Amino acid sequence: MLAGFIDAVVGGGGLIQLPAVMILLPGVPLPTLLGTNKFAAVCGTSVAVQHYARHVSIDWWMIAPAAVSAGLFAFIGSHAVTLLNPALLRPLVLVLLVGVAIYVFAVKELGLIHKAKHGPQRARWLAVIIGAVIGFYDGFFGPGTGSFLIFAFVGVFGFDFLSASASAKAVNWTTNVASLLYFAMHGNVLYGIGFAMAASNVVGATLGARVAIAKGSRFVRVFFLVIVCGLIAKLAHTLLLQH
C-alpha cells in the first residue's frame, strides 16, 4: 500500500516493494521476485493513470509514442536481466540521482510552472528517445524509473511537477506491462502473492493520485526530492555492503 502511494505521486514505489519481497520470500529466484513485483505495480499504476487522466491534462500526442517506445525497450531490458548483472548499473544510477537531486533543489522554481520548451514535433521525437532509454532501464534494473521520467518531463520538456507525474505514470504503465508480459511468459510470477500485493497497491495508488492532484506541483516537488534522497541512500548502502 505504501509503495502504491509513493509510486502514484512521484514514482519510486519499488524502493519499498522490491526489497520487501526479497526479504519476505527468501530463496525465490530473482526473475520471479521481479515478475511478482511487476504484477502488483501494473495494477497500482493502472489506477493512478485513470485518476490523473480525469483531472490533469496529458499531452497524449507526445506521451503515447513515448509510452510505446518505452514498453518495447522495457521488454528488451527484461530479457537482458537474464544475460547481464543489473548491479553493474548501481554506481552510475547513484551518480545520476545525486545530480538530479542537486539540480531540483538548486533551481527553486523548477517544475512549478508548466511552460513547453519544444515544438510539438521535436518534443514527440525527444519523448520517444527518452522513453526508449528509460524503458530499457526499467526492464533491466528499475529503481528510480518514475523519478527519472518525472525529471525528464520537468527538465527537458518544461512540465510542471503535477503534469510530469501524470505523464510519467502513463509511460511507466507500459514499461510495467511489457516487463510483466516477459516474466509471465517465462512463468516468473507468483500469482497468489501477486494478487494480494496488487490489491494493497491499488488502494495506495488511489490515495497517492488523489493527494498529488489535491496538493499540486509544490507538494509533488518536495515529495520527489524526499524519494530521490531515499533512492540515493538505498543505492549507496547497497554499494557499501558490496565492498
Written as tens digits, the pLDDT of the chain (243 aa) is 999 999 999 888 888 888 889 889 999 998 899 899 999 999 999 999 999 999 999 999 999 999 999 999 999 988 887 777 777 777 888 888 899 999 999 988 888 888 889 999 999 999 999 999 999 988 887 777 888 999 999 999 999 999 999 999 999 999 999 989 999 999 999 999 999 999 999 999 999 999 999 999 999 999 999 999 988 898 888 888 876
Find where cell 510539438 sits: 120
Find where cell 528517445 sits: 129
Q: What is the pLDDT of residue 153?
A: 95
CA distances from 49 to 3, 53, 169, 173 (A): 15, 6, 6, 8
Number of domains in the chain: 1
Nearest C-alpha neighbor of 205 from the set 72, 100, 49: 49
Range of the domain at 112: 2-242
Question: H helices of 59-144, where?
Answer: 60-80, 90-106, 120-140
Q: What is the pLDDT of residue 108?
A: 84
Q: What is the pLDDT of residue 243?
A: 66
